[in-house]
């Protein structure tokens, strides 16, 4: 009898604690309408997930009139899901990035010759505009510079001393990209992927070198002028970002920039691999 009563008491206490815990959780999501004070600034979230951020100009028994950056909004009390004194919106309006890093190259269309390529450097500036919590569009501008050794068949053939000339290659890229990831302002850490298309302008700087031929003890000079061309390009990649405070963060990103050859995208052909890191700045 005592065990039965003790069990009943314990079950009743456990039920009361659980019910109180659940009630407390749900009460945190419910708007405390009495806390809305005229003259204060709030972030008000509606049941349709829309956010209204601004100062309460006035209120009556049905509506609250909120002065936002774009004008005055009338909000019905029964449509309010939550009220917060934190005025940081759930979704950023834009994010700017500035970064730099290393530039690698793979593949070759140099008529079958594979010139040794030295890793170069790359710089990037981008502007991102999310249109949902996990989707965004981005405009990406980048510049890269690398160096390679040009082997010329004519001057490297036969007896003689051949010293290949180093040539600078400059790359200018403009991309429109689609990103999928996490663009909620509350997220401290997020991973994203990207895919886009654009234009790649490549300028191969000219060079001049002299070759000594030991067969007839003569010198041969060869001059190659600047050569530039523009191709369509595709960007594929991904990265991660870390939020430092409400506006500033850091990111690291790797891309594969594939350029067209003879009007087509040839995978495993000429491609560039920028690996960059830098800072981000979020706008609300």
Structural domain contains residue 89:
no
Note the pLDDT of residue 264: 57
Same domain, 139 and 175: yes
Q: Which segment of 127-136, 196-205, 256-265 scores lowest on mean pLDDT?
A: 256-265
Same domain, 232 and 207: yes
pLDDT band for position 250 (cuts 50, 70, 90): very high
Same domain, 223 and 268: yes
Range of the structural domain that residue 107 is part of: 94-283
Query: Which of 84, 102, 126 is the endpoint of a domain?
Result: 84
SS3 string of 220-273?
EEEEECCEEEEEEEEEEEEEEEEECCCCEEEEEEEEEEEEEECCEECCCCCEEE
Note the pLDDT of residue 248: 95
Same domain, 244 and 149: yes
Same domain, 113 and 78: no
Structural domain contains residue 124:
yes
Q: What percent of the chain has pLDDT over 90?
A: 34
Strand partners, 78: none
Burial grade of 63 (CB within 10 A; 0-12, 13-18, 19 or more): middle
The whole-chain average pLDDT of the chain stands at: 79
Same domain, 136 and 46: no
Same domain, 35 and 128: no
Kindly report, residue by residue over 171-182, the tens digit of the pLDDT: 999 999 999 999
Q: Which of 237, 224, 234, 228 is nearest to 269 (CA)?
A: 234
**Is the separation of the CB atoms in 139 and 97 below 8 Å?**
no
Q: Supply 212's token pair.
A: 């000594």
Domain count, the chain: 2
Q: Residue 257 sits in a domain of what CATH number?
A: 2.40.160.20
Same domain, 182 and 226: yes
How far from 244 is each of 94, 182, 248, CA to CA, in Å? 16, 16, 6
Same domain, 40 and 119: no
Q: Which segment of 110-114, 160-164, 198-202 scores lowest on mean pLDDT?
A: 110-114
CA dist 133 and 90 (Å) reads 8
Residue 201: DSSP 8-state: E
Query: Which of 53, 84, 115 is the endpoint of a domain?
Result: 84
Same domain, 125 and 202: yes
Higher local confidence (pLDDT), 96 or 231? 96
Structural domain contains residue 44:
yes
The torsion angle over the Cα atoms of residues 119, 123, 129 and 135, rounded to 10 degrees, is 10
Note the pLDDT of residue 191: 96
How far from 42 is each of 34, 83, 112, 207, 269, CA to CA, in Å? 13, 7, 65, 64, 55
Kindly report, residue by residue over 139-164, the tens digit of the pLDDT: 999 999 988 776 654 444 444 445 66
Note the pLDDT of residue 29: 41
Same domain, 26 and 125: no
Q: Residue 8 sits in a domain of what CATH number?
A: 2.30.30.100
CA dist 226 and 214 (Å) reads 30
Note the pLDDT of residue 114: 52
CA dist 188 and 186 (Å) reads 6
**Block residue for tokens 């963060």:** 249
CA dist 72 and 7 (Å) reads 58
């Amino acid at each position: 009898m005592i065990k039965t009563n003790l069990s009943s008491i314990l079950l009743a206490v456990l039920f009361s604690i659980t019910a109180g815990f659940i009630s407390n959780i749900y009460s945190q999501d419910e708007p405390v309408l009495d806390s809305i004070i005229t003259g204060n600034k709030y972030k008000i979230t509606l049941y349709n997930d829309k956010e209204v951020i601004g100062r309460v100009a006035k209120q009556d028994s049905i509506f609250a009139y909120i002065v936002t950056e774009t004008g005055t909004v009338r909000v019905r009390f029964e449509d309010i899901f939550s009220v917060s004194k934190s005025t940081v919106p759930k979704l950023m309006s834009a994010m700017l990035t500035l970064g730099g890093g290393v530039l690698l190259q793979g593949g070759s269309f140099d008529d079958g010759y594979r010139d040794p390529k030295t890793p170069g450097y790359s710089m990037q500036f981008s502007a991102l505009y999310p249109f949902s919590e996990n989707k965004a569009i981005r405009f990406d501008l980048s510049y890269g510079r690398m160096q390679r050794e040009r082997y010329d068949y004519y001057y490297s053939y036969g007896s003689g001393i051949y010293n290949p000339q180093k040539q600078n290659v400059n790359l200018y890229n403009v991309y429109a990209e689609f990103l999928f990831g996490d663009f909620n302002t509350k997220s401290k850490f997020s991973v994203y992927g990207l895919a886009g298309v654009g234009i790649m302008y490549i300028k191969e700087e000219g060079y001049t070198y002299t070759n000594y031929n030991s067969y007839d003890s003569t010198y041969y000079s060869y001059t190659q002028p600047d050569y530039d061309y523009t191709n369509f390009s595709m960007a594929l990649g991904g990265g991660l970002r870390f939020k430092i405070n409400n506006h500033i963060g850091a990111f690291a990103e790797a891309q594969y920039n594939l350029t067209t050859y003879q009007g087509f995208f040839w995978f495993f052909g000429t491609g560039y691999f920028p690996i960059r890191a830098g800072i981000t700045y979020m706008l609300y």
